[in-house]
Chain A
Amino acid sequence: MLCLGSAPAETALNSARLPLSLLLGIEAAGVALLVVAMALASASLVVPAVVAVAIPEGAAFALGGPAPWAPILGALLLAAAELAFWSIEWALPARESAEVLVFRGLWLAGLCLAGCGAGLLVSAVADLPISGGFDLTALGILAAIGILAVLLWLGRDALRAGRNG
């Protein structure tokens, strides 16, 4: 999945004339880190591994790579990270009901598709021929603050780790 996601990024990097070997090295290190995380069953290593894999893609998009690929790449990265978490969390032997597997699979597929859709929406909105200006910038800032506030409100319980029913 990660290799699949890397293909368009490499095209973009070629066009941007970046030191391809360096970026591919970072990506390979990320894949190796992911393998180590799964071998050691260490969930805390998964996200750094995914970030390392995403660096070439991020660099490619920062340098003007093809934006339509971005949501798909994001969804693939998310799916890879989730499957890695899944492997680590369920590494220990247990009796599993099929219902759990179906639920997790559907939840993962659904949210990856939703995330991809959201990314495409962001790209589509960005492509709209709307010129800037003070009003639009202020609206953008307010929207960003609003999104941040919503995320903080949703995560208010999560930030307080401790005893709870």
Chain B
Amino acid sequence: MIRRPTPRLVGYAAIVALGAYGAVTLDRIALLALIAPFAVWLAFGLATAAPPELEITSRLDKERTAEGEEVLFEAEVLCRGRVGWLELQLELPGQLECDIPGGRIRVRPRRGDAQTLTWRLRPRRWGAYRFGPVLVLAQDRAGLLRYSARLGEPARLRVYPAFERLRQLVPPARTQLFAGNRIARRHGEGIEFADIRGFTAGDRVRRINWRATARTGVPHVNDFHLERNADVILFVDSFADLGLDQESVLSLAVRAAVALADGYLGERDRVGVVGFGGVLRWLLPGMGPRHFYRVVESLLDTQVVTSYAWRAIDVIPPRVLPPAATILAITPLLDPRTLGALADLHHRGFDLVVLEIAPERFLPRSGRGVDPLALRLWGLLRVARRRSLQRAGLIVLEWPEGVALETLLAQAREYRRFARRSVA
């Protein structure tokens, strides 16, 4: 521990020295009597001062939690020395709420007894947090010496985002080769009826459609759709963020991405992630419950990193973007680099759906400091970007305030159905 004398030690010693000097030189015993309490304080304080000899063991009751759920941070304090009082401070990131003001606890430990102190933490926002060890300040009984150190173990807490369960998703336009819950366009073994066709060598007898065969006099068989899975890539734009920590564009984008990952993995699809921003991150497509946690863990590290590098989509490894994958892009369309990347993906033939988070809701409510003309221009710029994507044939859905993700996905389904009809 680092030991430092407090201003009290130096100050009281100066008062005692000054008083004693005055008493001797002026021959006045009253001056000695005046400084006597300070001398007694110094003498008692120095006589009883000793290093605190602290041992602190700290731990979190769980390493992973969800937004808004309570987590306990416990520190067991064992003091073998003599301490006047002890201040333990847990320096926390701003997104972690603590039931103790300032995260500080002042206690008087008993010598040789272990004391357990508890901080109740409540994360307001998803993310990967690291905090601790505990900052300990100790003073001797008279407050003449101060000891400080960081004791205990640092804690790591991963907070998973709270997300809405989606009942219906945007069906991918194309399917892959693996078995799944999606009805493929190709015919083969399955349970979903597709068509009736003439019998060919190798067809199973049980597939013969007896009515059609009797009516035409030629053997006919039922054809079925294959049941396959799809590849879904979640494209999260992290070039820019707007809003407060717990409610921001990026925060909403990550929550939506987790909800979509949960929904598609539940449908036995393969889900991959591309974090497109100052730092480019990706996760290869995978499936299963374990992969859901991989997706969430990869999204937890999403943050805005300032970079002026012009990133194109070709820096992403080809395996991350498998052919015929459906890409769901979640973006506020604030950065033109995202626009270029989306257009590039569309030109490569990927099935692309853009969920545009309307960032206006994250602007300050008071509107103070925001020029209305600048705000209007900013809005028009985003409209122009959206229109340019729509003109290119992309599905771009604006996500305004108060609309659930499920509703937005329903719009995407309707849009796709309408587009098919209009093409036909």
Binding site for B on A (CB under 8 A): 43-44, 46-48, 50-51, 54, 57-58, 61-62, 64-65, 67, 70-71, 73-75, 77-78, 81, 85, 89-90, 92-97, 99-100, 103-104, 107, 111-112, 114-116, 118-120, 122-123, 126, 144, 150-151, 154-155, 157-159, 161-165
> Are A164 and B34 within 8 A (Cβ)?
no
Contact check: which of B5, B52, B108 meets A100 at CB < 8 Å? B108
Further contacts, 18 of them, CB under 8 A, given A154-B49, A155-B9: A43-B7, A47-B8, A47-B11, A48-B11, A58-B31, A71-B37, A93-B104, A94-B104, A104-B85, A118-B36, A144-B20, A150-B43, A151-B46, A155-B42, A163-B1, A164-B1, A165-B52, A165-B81
Question: Are B101 and A95 closer than 8 Å at their CB atoms?
Answer: yes
**Closest Cβ–Cβ distance, residue A121 to chain B (whole Å):** 8
B residues with a Cβ closer than 8 A to A are 1-15, 18-20, 22, 26, 28-44, 46-47, 49, 51-53, 81, 84-85, 87, 89, 100-102, 104-108, 139, 141-145, 147
A116 cross-chain contacts in B, Cβ below 8 A? 36-37
Please determine whether A46 and B3 come into contact, CB atoms closer than 8 angstroms. no
Contact partner of A103 (CB less than 8 A), chosen from B4, B7, B30, B84, is B84
Residue numbers in B under 8 Å from A85 (CB-CB): 6-8, 143
B102 contacts which of A64, A92, A104, A150 (Cβ < 8 Å)?
Answer: A92
Contact B107 A62 (CB under 8 A): no
Contact in complex: A46, B47 (CB < 8 Å): no
Q: Is A71 a contact of B36 with CB atoms below 8 Å?
A: yes
In the complex, what residues of A have CB within 8 A of residue B106's CB? 90, 94-97, 100
The list of the 8 closest CB pairs from A to B, nearest first, reads: A115-B37, A47-B11, A94-B104, A154-B46, A119-B36, A93-B101, A126-B29, A70-B33
* CB-based contact B51/A51 at 8 Å: no
Given contacts A43-B7, A92-B102, contact A118 B40 (CB under 8 A): yes
Q: Can you list 26 A-B pairs, Cβ within 8 angstroms, ordered by A? A: A43-B6, A47-B11, A50-B11, A51-B15, A54-B15, A54-B34, A58-B31, A62-B31, A65-B30, A71-B33, A74-B33, A74-B37, A85-B7, A92-B104, A94-B89, A94-B101, A95-B104, A97-B106, A107-B84, A107-B141, A111-B41, A115-B38, A115-B39, A115-B41, A150-B43, A154-B46
**Contact present for A151 and B84 (CB under 8 Å):** no
Q: How far is the CB of A36 from chain B (nearest CB, A)?
A: 15
Residue of A nearest to B106 (CB): A96
B40 proximity list for chain A (CB < 8 A): 111, 114-115, 118
Residue of B whose beta carbon sits closest to that of A78 = B37
CB pair A164–B22 under 8 Å, yes or no, is no
Which of A50, A62, A89, A95 has the largest count of B CB atoms less than 10 A from its CB?
A95
Distance (whole angstroms) from the CB of A40 to the closest CB of chain B:
13
A7 to chain B, nearest CB (A): 15
With A74-B34, A120-B33 known as contacts, the answer to whether A114 contacts B85 (CB < 8 A) is no
Q: Which residues of B contact A50 (CB under 8 A)?
A: 11, 15
Which has the most chain B C-beta neighbours within 10 Å: A46, A48, A54?
A54
Give the shortest distance, in Å, between B230 (CB) and chain A (any CB): 53
B2:A163 contact, CB within 8 angstroms: yes
A57 contact set on B, CB distance < 8 A: 34
**Minimum Cβ distance to chain A for residue B51 (Å):** 5
Which residues in A have their C-beta under 8 angstroms from that of B47?
A: 154
Neighbouring B residues of A111 by C-beta, 8 Å = 37, 40-41, 44, 142
User: Which B residues are in CB contact (< 8 Å) with A65?
Assistant: 30
Would you give the shortest CB distance from A39 to chain B, in whole angstroms? 16
Bound Cα distance A65, B313 (Å): 89
Q: How far is the CB of B195 from chain A (nearest CB, A)?
A: 73
In the bound complex, residues from chain B placing their C-beta under 8 Å from that of A123 are 29-30, 33
Q: Once the chains bind, are A100 and B107 in contact (CB under 8 Å)?
A: yes
A97 in contact with B108 (CB, 8 Å): yes
Residues of B within 8 A of A107 (CB): 84, 141-142
> Roughly how many angstroms separate A120 CA and B34 CA in the complex, as a whole number?
9
Interface residue from B5, B18, B32 paired with A161 (Cβ < 8 Å): B5
List chain A residues, Cβ under 8 A from B22.
58, 62
Q: Which residue of B lies closest to A60 (CB)?
A: B30
Is A118 touching B37 in the complex (CB atoms < 8 A)?
yes
Expressed in whole angstroms, the Cα–Cα distance for A118 and B38 within the complex equals 10
Q: Which of B11, B34, B42 sits near A46, CB closer than 8 Å? A: B11
